[in-house]
Amino acid sequence: MVAFLGMGLLGSNFVRAMLQKGGQVQVWNRTIEKAKALEEYGAKVFASPAEAVKGCNRVHITLSDDAAVDAILESAKAGFEAGVIIIDHTTTSAEGAAKRSQLWKERGFTYLHAPVFMGPQNALESTGSMMASGDKELFEKVEKELSAMTGKLIYLGEKPERAAGIKLLGNLFLISMTGGISDTLALARALDIPGQEVLSLFEFFNPGAMVSGRTKLMLSDNFDKPTWELNMARKDARLMMEGAERKAVPLIVIPAIAKAMDKQIEKGNGKKNWTIFSKDSIGS
């Protein structure tokens, strides 16, 4: 028997997928109506976390943050069976994941952090990616069950906080990328370029193909062979900001990057590879 705590978009679709595969799932959600919506698919709904986890050897949770995870697990512990495995799919802090792993081990239970790169449809279709980190023997106990929930399962090693950290890195990139797209569309508006023409740019210009090479360059700490000098990149950033300012269109990302560029130019690095503006942040 499996319990699932947290019936948001992701959790509810995880549950539906489990039920479709013949699983028995006991569910709880703070807003009980969201849990009751799963009764038609075969879920058993309970009024409290402690009731929901009774008789279950595996407890999955998808909640909002560290505080919610800690609070709900405390509420649920009265119903935990001996040997229960807690599997947390919540995006949390790395520190929080490490602390929970140690805390529940001291209490005689096991906690595994397994965050995901998924949307609700991925959870329903068992596609997307799931990561896990922590005790390898524990991971191997649940590997089959976790694999059934996702298209790709990645074990990231013994450190219980590693999956949380990698998840945050991925989300940071998504947020940063979206900020960059926002600036691109904002400048396009200022330059009277229709959004559809911005889309056409990416039909022949694929920045995604550059990510791996760019990251390797930045990690190498070798900025002495520029393919684009920092001075020239900063000039282009100026043109972007001036173009937006003329139409009073705000930019989100580029002004902050321009400040980082200015710092490196002040240090005499204007003729080096433009990616040196990241040096102070990445610590190379």
Backbone angles phi, psi at 103, to 5 degrees: -60, -50
| Model confidence at 2: pLDDT above 90 | yes
pLDDT, tens only, 89-124:
999 999 999 999 999 999 999 999 999 999 999 999
Which tokens hold the place of 162? 């590693």
Q: What is the average per-residue pLDDT within 60-82?
A: 97
Decide if 6 contacts 62 (C-beta within 8 A): yes
pLDDT, tens only, 242-273:
999 999 999 999 999 999 999 999 999 999 99
Alpha-carbon torsion (215, 115, 37, 16), positive or negative: positive
Decide if 275 contacts 223 (C-beta within 8 A): yes
Alpha carbon distances (Å) from 171 to 115, 159, 220, 259: 11, 20, 24, 24
By residue count, the chain amounts to 284
Q: What is the CATH number of domain 2-160?
A: 3.40.50.720
The contacts of residue 107 (CB under 8 Å, 6+ apart) are: 77
**What is the pLDDT confidence band of residue 166, given thresholds at 50, 70 and 90?**
very high
Residues of the chain above pLDDT 90, percent: 99
Average pLDDT value for the chain: 97
Give the amino acid at 228.
W
Q: How far apart are CA 237 and CA 254, in angstroms?
A: 7
Q: What is the CATH number of domain 166-282?
A: 1.10.1040.10
Q: What is the pLDDT of residue 284?
A: 55
Lowest mean pLDDT among 31-45, 163-177, 182-196, 212-226: 212-226
Q: Parse the chain into domains and list their residue ranges.
A: 2-160, 166-282
Give the amino acid at 164.
A
The pTM is what? 0.94
pLDDT, tens only, 13-52:
999 999 999 999 999 999 999 999 999 999 999 999 999 9
At 270 the three-state DSSP class reads coil
Q: What is the pLDDT of residue 192?
A: 97
DSSP string over 13-56: HHHHHHHHTT--EEEE-SSHHHHHTTGGGTPEE-SSHHHHHTT-
